[in-house]
Structure 1
Amino acid sequence: MPQTITPEEAADRLAIRDLIDAYAHCADRRDAAGQMALFTEDTAFHVFMDSKAPEPTYALHGREALAPVFADLNQYRATTHFNGQSTIRLEGNSATGESYCIAHHLTVDGEKRTLMVASIRYLDQFVKQDGAWLFAERKLMVDWTDTRASAP
């Protein structure tokens, strides 16, 4: 039997997907302020450079703590975060989800070009505040990376 989705649930799912996509868009446009605005004031952001590690490589707490992480993207000439499948479980004004991303990071040093590709999964906790969905917690899980020479 097909699952029935209410218009409200459909709207929430679309808003959460827009939030996930806005994060990638802000990252690629180097809009750190816009990216930070997607998180709650008391957010938690955990980065696992090895997704199999039991503890994060680093953990940040609070929206303002995110600024240096997002500014770190400025080291790259360009990035492209391509979002793939996602799952979202709604529970009123909160939700959890997992989304996949293939992130491309281009470095140019003189004539040398390097492309690092990362397979990332985000494990998210979302909250709806004042009618808008935000990240309450985001775990960035790096499953693998591939770094290679790049030609223009």
Structure 2
Amino acid sequence: MPAAASPQNYTDQYAKDRAEIEDLMARYLFAMDYNDMDSYAATFTEDGELEFASGTAVGRDNIKATAKAFKDRIATVYKDVDGNPAVLRHVLAQTVIRVEGDRAWARAFWYEMANDGPKNEAGRKTPQMGTFGIYEDELRKVDGQWLFSKRRILNEFLDGRHSGSENPVAEMDRLAE
């Protein structure tokens, strides 16, 4: 089935599930951007898996430790024009979510903004778009709460981590079926 044609049945339950999953996605990003690694890890199932450019972490404790190490490393790489660690903020754009009972799949486009642009005429730091990519998610409802069972982060600017030429939604729909 073409990705433009939706195989999803848009019931009231789908609307509720989608709202809860979108809330989870937002909480994940706020936790990452504000260094709240306990809340970040809590967005995953106990046996959850996080795959990103630096590797894969399985289980909440490993995900928390891996995310903290990543944030610490990034602070040494991304600097603003004054040499301070840049302030990074992630933005979630178009998101497609497929729900089948207590399982769900999502594909979302993300990008990152930072305060590491040049200073403007008033001497203020300007924002700059940084990295971007696709989230490939598998989710499970556990005790009535949606959580990531697997999150794969693709980065369109890194060799071997880009999403490829196929529509990510078509691939997601095949997994769900």
TM-score (norm 2): 0.66
Task: Please state whether the residue corresponding to 1:46 is helix, strand or coil.
Answer: strand
Gap regions ≥5 residues in structure 2: 1-5, 76-84, 117-124, 159-177
2:153 is matched with which residue? 140
Task: Please state whether the residue corresponding to 1:5 is helix, strand or coil.
Answer: coil
Equivalent AA in structure 1 for residue 136 of structure 2: L
C-alpha displacement of 1:79: 1.1
1:148 is matched with which residue? none
- Name the CA distance, whole Å, in 2 between partners of 1:136 and 1:30: 21
Q: Is the 8 A contact 1:103 1:120 kept in 2?
A: no
* RMSD of Structure 2 on Structure 1 (CA): 2.4
- Name the CA distance, whole Å, in 2 between partners of 1:115 and 1:67: 27
Alignment partner for residue 122 of structure 1, among 132, 135, 138?
135
**How many aligned residue pairs are there?**
131
If you compute each CA radius of gyration, which structure gives the higher value, 1 or 2?
2
* 1:69 partnered with 2:82: no
* Amino-acid identity (%): 27
Equivalent AA in structure 2 for residue 61 of structure 1: V
Alignment partner for residue 44 of structure 2, among 39, 44, 47?
39
C-alpha displacement of 1:106: 4.9
- Superposed, which structure 2 residues align to 1:9-88 within 5 Å? 9-48=14-53, 57-71=54-68, 72-74=70-72, 75=75, 76-88=85-97
2:163 is matched with which residue? none
The structure with the largest strand share of the pair is 1
TM-score (norm 1): 0.77
Equivalent AA in structure 1 for residue 94 of structure 2: Q
Equivalent AA in structure 1 for residue 97 of structure 2: I
Distance 1:44 1:21, change over 3 A: same
Distance 1:6 1:82, change over 3 A: same
Gap regions ≥5 residues in structure 1: 49-56, 108-112, 146-152
- Name the CA distance, whole Å, in 2 between partners of 1:77 and 1:31: 17
Distance 1:84 1:42, change over 3 A: same
